[in-house]
Amino acid sequence: MTVAVLSGTARERVIQAACTLGLWLGAAACAGAGAGAGKREAPSAWTVLLDAERLTDWKATAFGGEGDVIVEDDLIVLEMGSPLTGLSWTGGELPRWDYELEVTARRLAGTDFFCGLTFPVGESHATLILGGWGGALTGLSCIDGADASENETTPFIAYERGREVSARVRVTRAEISTWLDGELLHTVGLVGHTVGLRPEVLLSRPLGVASFLARSGLRDLRLRRVGAD
């Protein structure tokens, strides 16, 4: 076997080339890492938690005076209660931060909220109300002890009977954001603020959907993880 011995000049050139290559690769790696810094990771795929064929991990919420929960034409129907009817999650552990929920629902009858989606926010919970307080209020309960009729999340939206809508909630450590049919509704910062529930829906924890003096149809409820801020 023949071993090649480099002269001093050749050896210096090899070392210089290697150093140059190393510096370039290091710079490229740092640039790649820097390009990704500050960007939110792509959301995970949606997981369906509730639909007409997925009721195993849910129970009818024992509000007292609740109506029946039935499946009708691929909808989960919450019959009108006195005043509440709902479903509560009994499945596995849920994320408390950095996730989204999307619920698709419609009002079938009644004049109060047809969808009250209760969801985790860290160690606490909040509720997104669709069609409350006479049928139109759409907001979050409760922010700093004030419910959706008294805090900054109080737009009034007409929900025609039978019209299906999709509402999405994103929870991060920084804020709660909500959308209705793809349009941003609310962004509520969490730093320096508290969230909580009205007493009527405490039984909806840790995750639940309820109607109040309304007959509702639920198409589905699904969940996905989102990257941290």
Predicted local confidence at residue 229, as pLDDT: 60
Q: How far apart are CA 149 and CA 132, in angstroms?
A: 9
SS3 category, 124: strand
Prediction pTM value:
0.82
Q: How far apart are CA 78 and CA 61, in angstroms?
A: 11
**Burial of 171 (C-beta count, 10 Å sphere; 0-12/13-18/19+):** buried
Predicted local confidence at residue 27, as pLDDT: 35
Q: How far apart are CA 213 and CA 211, in angstroms?
A: 7
Series of mean pLDDT values for 10-residue runs along the chain (229 residues):
35 38 35 46 92 97 98 97 98 98 98 98 98 96 96 95 98 98 97 97 98 98 89
Per-residue DSSP letter, 44: P
